Amino acid sequence: MKVFVAVDMEGIAGLVQWDAADRDVERRLMTEEVNAAARGAIAGGATEVCAGESHGNMRNLLPELLDPRVGFLSGQPKPMNHAGGVDGSFDLALLVGYHSKAGTLHGVMAHTFNLSIFSLSFNGTEVGEIGTDAALCGHHGVPVGLVAGDRAACEEARALLGNVETVAVKEGVSRSAARCVPVSRARAQIEEAAGRAVRRVSELQPFTFAGPVTVEVVFVDPSLADALEPLDFVTRADGRTIRFVAEDYLAAFERFNALHFLAPVVR
Burial label for 225, CB within 10 Å (0-12, 13-18, 19+), is buried
Q: Which of 55, 82, 99, 111 is catalytic?
A: 111
Classify strands 165-174 and 144-150 as parallel, antiparallel or unpaired: parallel
The number of residues making up the chain comes to 267
Can 111 be counted among the known catalytic residues? Answer: yes
DSSP secondary structure string for all residues of 162-196? -S-EEEEEEEEEETTEEEE--HHHHHHHHHHHHHH
Q: How far apart are CA 11 and CA 110, in angstroms?
A: 9
State whether the Cα torsion 30-36-40-41 is positive or negative: positive
Classify strands 241-246 and 213-219 as parallel, antiparallel or unpaired: antiparallel
Residues designated catalytic: 111
